[in-house]
Amino acid sequence: MHQRTINSFHVGNFLTRTLFGAIFVIVLIAGIIIHPFAFFAVFMGITILASFEFYKLIQKNNCVPQIATGLIGAALLFTSCFAYTHYNNSTLFALFVPLLVLIPIIEMYRKKENPFGNIAYTFMGLLYVALPFSLLNFMVFPFGDNQFHWEILMGIFVLIWANDTGAYLVGVNFGKHRLFERISPKKSWEGSIGGAVITLAIAYLISLYSKELTSAQWIIGGAIVVVFGSMGDLVESLLKRSINIKDSGNLIPGHGGLLDRFDAILLVSPMIFVFLQIINEFFR
């Protein structure tokens, strides 16, 4: 009877994980490919929820960040980037800058312990979470033509999923040498190398169908995903380990929080942004 209960639990957990994982992927893909405003709605929501999740985590570390100010800043930054890339309008950035100035001023009136820690973590939420998501706007509007080029962002997410899946499958079956045991004991060099090979192969296959970038540029993008996607995973693991928690949240049943699902993009996005700017400057 006990074994049957355990088996039922595992089956139920697998079904829950599969169902909500499928819903998550469908919403994400729909937000990327349907329409610019669908992209705005989905990723604005993700930006705000992920920022809130980050600030709630920081509260476990005996700090009191300015959650409301941080969420307003996150929404304003994402909207500013959308308006700039889609409409070539930079007006909203003029509102975002004063908000940054207000953060230390607001802290003076809160009368909380560790005020500069609170200020630093409020800024950190904008830098670590809101900025990477906001830079995704430059991947769907990458060439300054105000046209919606969803294939690049979709390709980046496919490469991240390929890297994660390849690293997991190879690591589980062949992993022996730990990659960074102090932070993530289960990750192996073998898994990382396997993930890299699969990701670069997928990048080449994407280049055969998507002409937004050349084959060489897609492969370089794949290499960026391999390096900084893996680093993003480790950095988020470092954050969770410092607070002694397993998951960043429970928003997605069976999958943890949004930061768990988007840990790779938090470091990949800024580097892909720089890469696209280099392409625009020198190769178009």
Q: How far apart are CA 47 and CA 255, in angstroms?
A: 18
Are 160 and 191 a contacting pair, CB within 8 Å?
no
At 238 the pLDDT is 87
4 pLDDT tier (thresholds 50, 70, 90): low
Q: What DSSP assignment string belongs to 52-90?
A: HHHHHHHHTTT----HHHHHHHHHHHHHHHHHHHHH---
Instruction: Give the single-character DSSP code of 113.
Output: S
Q: How far apart are CA 276 and CA 258, in angstroms?
A: 26
Dihedral angle, C-alpha 139, 24, 132, 146, nearest 10 °: 30
Q: Is the pLDDT of residue 21 over 80?
A: no
**What global pTM score does this model have?**
0.90
**Tens-digit pLDDT profile for residues 222-253:** 999 999 999 998 888 888 888 888 777 677 66
The angle at the Cα of 214, spanning 190 to 205, to the nearest 5 degrees, equals: 45
For 254, left (φ over 0), alpha (ψ -120 to 50), or beta?
A: left
Q: Is the pLDDT of residue 9 over 50?
A: no
Q: How far apart are CA 139 and CA 251, in angstroms?
A: 26
At 129 the pLDDT is 96
Helices H / strands E in the chain, number of each: 12, 2
- 175 token code pair: 């992993």
Q: Which of 222, 69, 84 is nearest to 160 (CA)?
A: 222
When mean pLDDT is compared across 66-75, 183-192, 266-275, the lowest value belongs to 183-192
Q: Which of 89, 185, 196, 70 is nearest to 146 (CA)?
A: 89
In the three-class reduction of DSSP (H, G, I as helix; E, B as strand; rest coil), residue 256 is classed as: strand
**Tens-digit pLDDT profile for residues 144-173:** 777 899 999 999 999 999 999 988 888 878
When mean pLDDT is compared across 119-128, 179-188, 201-210, 251-260, the lowest value belongs to 179-188
